[in-house]
Structure 1
Amino acid sequence: MRILLLGGTSEARALAARLHPAIEVISSLAGRVPDPALPVGEVRVGGFGGVEGLRQWLRDEQVDAVVDATHPYAATMTAHAAAVCAELALPHLVLARPPWPPGDAIVVPTDVEAAKTVAAQGFGRVFLTTGRSGAAAFKGVDAWFLIRAVTPPEAADLPTRHHIVLSRGPYRYDGELALLREHRIDALVSKNSGGSMTRPKLDAAAALGVPVVMVDRPPLPDGVATVASVDEAVDWVSGRS
Structure 2
Amino acid sequence: MVKWFAAILGYYIFRFPGAILGFLIGSYIDSLSGSGSKTIFGGPSQQNVSPADFELHLLSLCSIVIKADGRATQSELDYVRLYFVRTYGKEKANAIFRTFNEVIKKREISAQKICSVLNQRTRYEVRLQLLHFLFGIAQADGVMTRKEIDKIKEIAGYLRVGHHDFESIMAMFVKSADNAYKILEIEKTATDDEVKSAYRTMAKKYHPDRVNTQDEAIKQGAEEKFKEVQKAYEEIQAERGRNL
TM range (shorter): under 0.3
Q: Please report the TM-score for the alignment, with normalisation by the length of structure 1.
A: 0.26
Q: Which structure has the highest helix share of the two?
A: 2
Relative contact order, higher structure (CA 8 A, sep 6+): 1
Q: Which structure has the highest strand share of the two?
A: 1
Q: Please report the TM-score for the alignment, with normalisation by the length of structure 2.
A: 0.26
